[in-house]
Amino acid sequence: MLLLASAVWRIRDSQLNSFDVGHETELPTGGILSMPRIEIDEERCKGCELCTIPCPRSLVRMAEKFNQKGYRISEFVDPEGRCTGCAMCARMCPDVVIKVYR
């Protein structure tokens, strides 16, 4: 059972979109600060709410709007830049519509 779970996890990981580099800000010192974030493909979201469960910082929630198919969509709310890019939300999404930048 453990092996099966591990295999499923690997397949899910391979389905994830690539972890692209997040917003990059050049610091006064010349260094680069990368800010992790996610993007949710709203038109592919089916409103299952699963992605709102695993975020350790509660940054994913259900929005007050609907997509063209009539599904209430999820949204990423992170005004303070607290996303760690851990990708737990993306791993949870059964439709692989969350892209992680970090």
98 binds ligand SF4 (CB under 6 A): yes
Helices (H), 31-98: 88-92
Most distant CA pair in the chain, distance:
51
Q: Of the listed pieces 7-15, 18-26, 27-35, 38-46, which binds ligand SF4 according to CB under 6 A?
A: 38-46
Surface-to-core class of residue 47, CB atoms within 10 Å of its CB (0-12 exposed, 13-18 middle, 19+ buried)? middle
63 binds ligand SF4 (CB under 6 A): no
91 binds ligand SF4 (CB under 6 A): no
Give the residue, chosen from 16, 35, 46, 99, that forms a contact with ligand SF4 under the rule CB under 6 A.
46
User: Cα(59)–Cα(32) distance, rounded to whole angstroms?
Assistant: 24
Total of residues contacting ligand SF4 (CB under 6 A): 29
Give the residue, chosen from 16, 35, 50, 63, that forms a contact with ligand SF4 under the rule CB under 6 A.
50
**CB 86 → ligand SF4: shortest distance, Å?**
4
User: Cα(94)–Cα(16) distance, rounded to whole angstroms?
Assistant: 10
User: Cα(13)–Cα(17) distance, rounded to whole angstroms?
Assistant: 8
**CB 62 → ligand SF4: shortest distance, Å?**
7
